[in-house]
Structure 1
Amino acid sequence: MKALSSMATRALLADLATAAAEAGLPCAEIESVGGVDAARRVAAGEQLDLVFLASGALQELADHGHVAASSVTPLVLSRTAIAVRSEGSREASAPAVHAFDDAAGVRAALRNAGRIGYSTGPSGTAILRQIDDWGMAGELHGRLVQARPGMPVARLVADGEVDVGFQQLSEMVGQEGIRILGALPPDCAIDTVFAGAVATTSTDPAASRAALSFFASDAVASIKDAHSFVHPPRPSLKSR
């Protein structure tokens, strides 16, 4: 079984695939690439069984007939977090739930940062939209640094290319050379729902649906927790 995903869920999906195989389900070989590249490959008709992307990107593929619309299944909710460079080799303890009390604190941090890193994925798109909504796009022009496709923002932070970075918490946890301050506060939270779907090019749609159902089940909730994802996504929250 062939599957394709964005980098945001790479480690999580590897563990879910292992758990599925141990439960007697077909073995899934999951390739993880930049989300933009993944969506392009699916749209080009590459032979795949399962696709895992942010729900908005996956819905667009469903609208164009590249994945089965009826199979689109939310798997996890991911929070966007803030990180700075650390003198230590690895995050020593769990980050605070929220780095700042409110959006005003985040705006102040942006103003004080020299260079600000963001991703090519949904969290990066959302933070740019938030900055624009705050009327800070002009003020921060020239200081915003987008990570190259497939490169974690944590790498930019650890290497000193940026002073502060925004990305999915799940992609920052355990990364060397950074200190995670916490997730964005509720009044400016950027939450992304990641979902899975059966590709229309699947050679075994029934088996693919069975694997996807397992990935979404309560049986693997502890695996999602271990990777700093929320299971299951709460219906009131939407991918942004």
Structure 2
Amino acid sequence: MPQHHSIRKSRPLLVALALLAAGPAHAADIRVVSSGGFAQAYKNLAAEYERTSGDHLLSEWGPSMGTTAKAIPARLARGERIDVVIMVGDALDKLMDAGRLVPGTKVVLANSPIACAVRHGVAKPDISTTDGLRKAFLEARKVAYSDSASGEYIEGKLMMKLDIAEQMQGKAAKIPATPVGEIIAHGEADFGCQQRSELMPVKGIDIVGLLPPEVQLMTEFSAALVRDARQPEAGRALLRFLASPANAAAIEATGLQPAAAPAAH
């Protein structure tokens, strides 16, 4: 057989192999906005999802509540095109009730405890009891907490439970947008509290411990599909992946308590 006939016959096979090597022909770009509490877990899982699905995650960050421009409710209110949101469960439920999210798509991912931190290398106060926590607040020069779920609790309830609301006026500050750990690391506060999962990735701080059980608040983090998402089916697939028991260990490693039980081996 002439050589040019062999080349002509093999050409379709070469094209097919090239297409297979290029990956899925219709990979989706999924736009995701996650609040800080689940951000590190999401970052750790993103590469595996992209590898196994062929989809591409366009990831952004914003608080679950508050009035900053990057806050998830504000983004949806001004019509930003987002496929999936990951945020505090109570705030997600409000968006669901308001018709911003697709009913029935909510998945609970994890629960998050609040922890406190100081600048790296300084003495750590003992906050294992409410008396110790009260002392740590009162002795701090400046205290920082977030403008999201943990900060709302600290400002609205914890200070009153500790009976220090008046004493903390003027030296306790709610921090919009910036992680509390960064404020502490830069020396702008010498004590602060936020979701443990948000403190753990920050360099330059030491986590003192969790709030004592009697004043602890566990915050649910959930995800859902946004109404009018451009990639609804790919978004649903991502939600199934994030909620899979196979990912429980990766979520737990970031300081969260996974909602799904680990997969059996």
User: What interval of TM-score do these two structures reach, taking the shorter chain for normalisation?
Assistant: 0.7 to 0.9
Is residue 116 of structure 1 aligned with residue 143 of structure 2? yes
Tell me what 2:228 maps to.
201
In 2, Cα distance between equivalents of 1:174 and 1:181:
14
In 2, Cα distance between equivalents of 1:121 and 1:233:
24
User: Cα deviation per residue 1:46-85 (whole Å; 9 max; x = unaligned)?
Assistant: 2111011100111110010001131111111111101011
- 1:144 to 1:190, Cα distance in 2 relative to 1, 3 A: same
User: Cα deviation per residue 1:8-66 (whole Å; 9 max; x = unaligned)?
Assistant: 32222122222212222633211112333222112333211101110011111001000
Structure of greater Rg = 2
Q: Which moved more, 1:161-170 or 1:107-116?
A: 107-116
Is residue 9 of structure 1 aligned with residue 9 of structure 2? no
Q: How does 1:30-69 map to 2 (within 5 A)?
A: 30-36=59-65, 37-69=71-103
Higher RCO, Cα 8 Å, sep 6+:
1
* 1:196 Cα deviation from its structure 2 partner: 0.3
Does structure 2 conserve the Cα–Cα contact (< 8 Å) formed by 1:101 and 1:185? Answer: yes
TM-score by length of 2: 0.79
Is residue 28 of structure 1 aligned with residue 62 of structure 2? no
In 1, Cα distance between equivalents of 2:126 and 2:226:
38
RMSD, aligned CA:
2.1
Is residue 74 of structure 1 aligned with residue 108 of structure 2? yes
* 1:118 Cα deviation from its structure 2 partner: 0.4
Does structure 1 conserve the Cα–Cα contact (< 8 Å) formed by 2:243 and 2:260? Answer: no
Q: Which moved more, 1:206-215 or 1:15-24?
A: 15-24
Q: Which moved more, 1:206-215 or 1:192-201?
A: 206-215
TM-score by length of 1: 0.86
Does structure 1 conserve the Cα–Cα contact (< 8 Å) formed by 2:248 and 2:260? Answer: no
- 1:5 to 1:224, Cα distance in 2 relative to 1, 3 A: same
In 2, Cα distance between equivalents of 1:19 and 1:126:
34
Q: Secondary structure at the match of 1:132?
A: helix
Q: Secondary structure at the match of 1:130?
A: helix
- 1:79 to 1:112, Cα distance in 2 relative to 1, 3 A: same
* 1:178 Cα deviation from its structure 2 partner: 1.0
| Number of matched pairs | 225
User: Cα deviation per residue 1:119-169 (whole Å; 9 max; x = unaligned)?
Assistant: 1110000111211343321111101122232x1111111122112110111
* Greater per-residue strand proportion: 1
Tell me what 2:120 maps to.
86
Q: How does 1:151-230 map to 2 (within 5 A)?
A: 151-230=178-257
In 1, Cα distance between equivalents of 2:60 and 2:217:
26
Which sections of structure 2, spanning at least 5 residues, go unmatched?
Answer: 1-29, 66-70
Which sections of structure 1, spanning at least 5 residues, go unmatched?
Answer: 89-94, 235-240
Identity %: 29
Counterpart residue identity of residue 168, structure 1:
Q
Tell me what 1:138 maps to.
166
In 1, Cα distance between equivalents of 2:203 and 2:238:
32
